[in-house]
Amino acid sequence: MSVRGLVKRYGGRAVLDGPDLEVEAGEGFALRVPNGPGKTTTIGILEGVGRRRGRQARR
């Protein structure tokens, strides 16, 4: 999975602003950040549930 420059806004407020992520087949990963910075939104976009703006997200 590869994510580059992911952006998501709610009402003009950026909840995601450019995270980059590379995960190879068979690897695990964790999003360890404080409450509120868009972990659930990121996973939803990667699952194809959420809509994104920005450069690219591939599975």
Residue 58 included in any domain: no
Residue 26 included in any domain: yes
Q: Is the pLDDT of residue 59 over 60?
A: no
Residue 14 included in any domain: yes
Range of the domain at 41: 2-47
Residue 23: partners with Cβ closer than 8 Å, 6 or more residues away: 1, 2, 29
Question: How confident is the model at residue 16, as a pLDDT?
Answer: 79
Residue 53 included in any domain: no
Residue 57 included in any domain: no
Residue 7 CB coordination number (10 Å): 14
Question: How confident is the model at residue 26, as a pLDDT?
Answer: 92
Question: How confident is the model at residue 38, as a pLDDT?
Answer: 76
Claim: this prediction has a pTM higher than 0.75: no
Query: pLDDT, tens digit, for every residue of 1-57?
Result: 888 888 888 788 887 777 788 889 999 888 887 777 678 878 887 777 656 555 555
Number of domains in the chain: 1
Which residues lie across from 9 on neighbouring strands? 14
Residue 52 included in any domain: no
